[in-house]
Amino acid sequence: MIPIKPISNGAPAAPIGTGPAQAALSFLKPGALQLTALPPLSLYVHFPWCVRKCPYCDFNSHEVKDGFPEQAYLDALRTDLELALPLIWGRRIQTIFIGGGTPSLLSAAGLDRLMSDVRTLLPFDGDIEITMEANPGTFEADKFRAYRASGINRLSIGIQSFNPGHLQALGRIHDGEQALKAVEIAQANFDNFNLDLMYALPQQTLAQARADIETAIAFAPPHLSLYHLTLEPNTLFAKYPPAVPDDDASADMQDMIAQLTAAAGYGNYEVSAYAQPGRRARHNLNYWQFGDYLGIGAGAHSKLSFPHRIVRQMRYKHPQTYLAQTAAGAPIQEEAEIERDALGFEFMLNSLRLVEGFSPNLFAERTGMGLNRIEQQLDLAEQKGMLYRDHAVIRPTPLGRRFLNDLQEIFLSD
């Protein structure tokens, strides 16, 4: 899952032009946005249950104790989507991502029903990418063949490590053998899949990190997501921090990853994303290019553009609360328009993660503002040697990529 944190009246918004919050066409606020075209639209579906909560995880996930209400949750997802339809009339879905939690806990029949409901309600792009997250330990060959038959055409597998000791330290429910078996099942059923791995793990050595990356590359996955372990607030690791590699050791691991992936033909196109040619994650790219996404399910976030405003939403987080609120016709807990002063930062926060950067025209297309809106910050970043720009591209320099947080913070100030 891609955690781009977005924001409520608790009721579904009205379609463009039918309510006071939407009546921008007849009466524009001073400084209202002027989007000449709406960006690509993706759908995110959140599944909030896991077998066990990992000590490093800060996503909205809850341990399955005595099962989970699959049919009730699928009912709620359909209702949630139906309530959101007026906000996206006429727009085709380019990508779908089913994340969690552990969506692979869904039965084959449950996933088939979900895909049927979504396909009934939404128009799909002809070449739509449909990704589902899955964790080793929940892999059954027959079930994954059924997932493929239901329309899933890309899998994202939460391996994290092939080392049994590190998997135990991370609280994962699978072991090294199950991790290997999961990749084999994915290879047999999907021609497009991603492997998620982490590095700078508790007590991990450079040699152990190398072994993980070499094992992953040996399977020739079309895509790799390689994340530095971070100790996020409100997690067990934040409360009881494990001993992790220091900055120098972590930097050595990053250098090793760059060398191994490049030698194997993987392009590093985003901070943590590596892809074979033509295999970039289209759903994630839409986030990083400040595209739109509708999020349904417990705690899901949305970013939706209209001709004169851009809105963020967040659904109720706790599954039971979400079920009750959705049944009452009000799944949205928070909703707010992105203020004009914040748009430049929000755009740059995402787009600066891309190694190749972005076209200057994209800023105007996605924010409805001229690039001169952030001219001072661009100048400062360029002076610091953290940003390169010309008429065709704006991108972080190697220094900017190394100190990405510092580069992004430059755009916080107006």
Tell me the pLDDT tens digit for each residue of 273-332: 999 999 999 999 999 999 999 999 999 999 999 999 999 999 999 999 999 999 999 999
Q: What is the mean pLDDT of the chain?
A: 88
Domain end marker among 286, 321, 356 = 286
DSSP run (H or E) holding 304: strand 301-306
On whether both 233 and 120 belong to a single domain, the answer is yes
**pLDDT one-digit tens code per residue, 104-125:** 999 999 999 999 999 999 999 9
Kindly give the pairing relationship between strand 273-275 and strand 223-228: antiparallel
Using 50, 70 and 90 to split pLDDT, how confident is the model at 29?
low
Using 50, 70 and 90 to split pLDDT, how confident is the model at 142?
confident
On whether both 240 and 350 belong to a single domain, the answer is no
Give me the pLDDT at residue 5, please.
31
Find, among 90, 296, 266, 287, the residue nearest to 194 by Cα.
Answer: 266
On whether both 282 and 352 belong to a single domain, the answer is no
Q: What is residue 166's three-state secondary structure?
A: helix
**pLDDT one-digit tens code per residue, 205-232:** 999 999 999 999 999 999 999 999 887 7
Question: Does residue 26 form part of some domain?
Answer: no
Q: Which domain holds residue 381?
A: 340-414
**How many structural domains compose the chain?**
2
> The whole model's pTM is what?
0.89
On whether both 186 and 264 belong to a single domain, the answer is yes
Helix/strand/coil percent split, the chain, to 5: 40, 20, 40
On whether both 280 and 402 belong to a single domain, the answer is no
Question: Does residue 333 form part of some domain?
Answer: no
Question: Does residue 36 form part of some domain?
Answer: no
On whether both 86 and 162 belong to a single domain, the answer is yes
Domain end marker among 251, 270, 286 = 286
Average pLDDT over residues 53-67: 76
Give me the pLDDT at residue 220, please.
96
On whether both 273 and 355 belong to a single domain, the answer is no
Average pLDDT over residues 70-82: 98
Predicted confidence (pLDDT) at residue 10 exceeds the cutoff of 80:
no
Find, among 245, 246, 255, 147, the residue nearest to 204 by Cα.
Answer: 245
Give me the pLDDT at residue 103, please.
93
Give me the pLDDT at residue 327, please.
98
CATH at residue 250 = 3.20.20.70
CATH at residue 367 = 1.10.10.920
Predicted confidence (pLDDT) at residue 11 exceeds the cutoff of 60:
no
Predicted confidence (pLDDT) at residue 173 exceeds the cutoff of 80:
no
Question: Does residue 378 form part of some domain?
Answer: yes
Using 50, 70 and 90 to split pLDDT, how confident is the model at 178?
confident
Question: Does residue 297 form part of some domain?
Answer: no
Using 50, 70 and 90 to split pLDDT, how confident is the model at 140?
confident
Contact 179, 162 (CB under 8 A): yes
Phi, psi at residue 320, to the nearest 5°?
-70, -40
